[in-house]
Amino acid sequence: MTAEEQSIIKNQSIKKLKAYNDSVFLNSPSARIIRILSEYVKPDAIFRREKVKDTIVFFGSARIKPKQDAKASLQTLIDMKAIAQDIKEAKAILKMSKYYDDTVELSRKLTKWSMKCEPSHRFVVCSGGGPGIMEAANKGAKLAGGKSIGLNISLPFEQDPNPFISDELNFEFHYFFMRKFWFAYLAKALVIMPGGFGTLDELFEVLCLIQTKKIKKKMPVVVFDTKFWKKIINMKHLVDMGLIDKEDLKLFKVVDTVDEAFEFLKKELSEHYMGITKSLLTNVKGEKK
């Protein structure tokens, strides 16, 4: 048998891969639309299987640490006699750690409340799945004995799944816009804790979608800590300059405590998604149930 004949037989014996088993093809530019579609279809299938229909989404800085960790980092720098700038930054991180604790507590309270709703776990806490405020949100849900969602995305830094996400609801995205879709699509409320570019991006994107009626459902937006956000954004100036309407300031509510945020969200979600009117939220003595 000639070499040419042997080559023909060898080529004929090679089993050709079906397109959906061809990893080279699936990772090629030609298959981009398939990859995009898969980041819709797979999460959709999982959410349906887990009976997740409503979420409360938390946004905030990935760089905020638990108080204990922030204290330890500061003490290490002091012991090392680090430069003044590093110590100053570490002190700022320690100051910001209060928001980690506040997020844990708010998420815990919301999850505990939602577990009593019908059906159980009606409103599931959802985060970006990484460290900082995202971790705190998932941690609070776990402390309450509930499940929570982590919508991770592949990044060169800051984005490894935190250990508090429910295993069955731990996602990994490649495309930012598909991740953003799942943040908004199931969300019935949004909590904005202090954060940087990513937090500001998510806040203004959602406010724009609500303002332009692209999001038609009722979605209460809670912005946490008046003092912090007044230094970052001057919304009144936007109104004064005619760049937004005064009514647009009603698209979000600024709160200063965990209890204030919890009571507001409980009331809004009950009224708009559970058919409970304001009168049913109080007892005959006028006290909150």
Q: What is the pLDDT at residue 157?
A: 67
Following CA atoms 117, 125, 151, 43 in sequence, which dihedral angle do they give, to the nearest 10 degrees? 0
Domain ranges, ordered by start, for the chain: 43-66+98-281
Burial 173-208 (b: 16+ CB within 10 A, else e): bebeebbbbbbbebbbbbbbbbbeebbeebbeebbe
pLDDT of residue 14: 58
Q: What percent of the chain has pLDDT over 70?
A: 89
Class of domain 43-66+98-281: alpha beta
Reading the chain (289 residues) residue by residue, the pLDDT tens digits are 677 666 655 655 556 788 888 999 999 999 999 999 999 999 999 999 999 999 999 999 999 999 999 999 999 889 888 888 989 999 999 999 999 999 999 999 999 999 988 776 689 999 999 999 999 999 999 999 999 999 999 877 656 799 999 999 999 999 999 999 999 999 999 999 999 999 999 999 999 999 999 999 999 999 999 999 999 999 999 999 999 999 999 999 999 999 999 999 999 999 999 875 444 444 434 434 3
The pLDDT tens digits of the residues spanning 102-135 come to: 999 999 999 999 998 877 668 999 999 999 999 9
pLDDT value for 16 = 78
Average pLDDT, the chain: 90
* Lookup: tokens for 236: 């009144």
Give me the pLDDT at residue 8, please.
Answer: 56
pTM, to two decimals: 0.86
Q: What pLDDT sits at residue 282?
A: 46
Give per-residue pLDDT as tens, 66-100: 999 999 999 988 988 888 898 999 999 999 999 99
Residue-level pLDDT at 10: 60
pLDDT of residue 283: 43
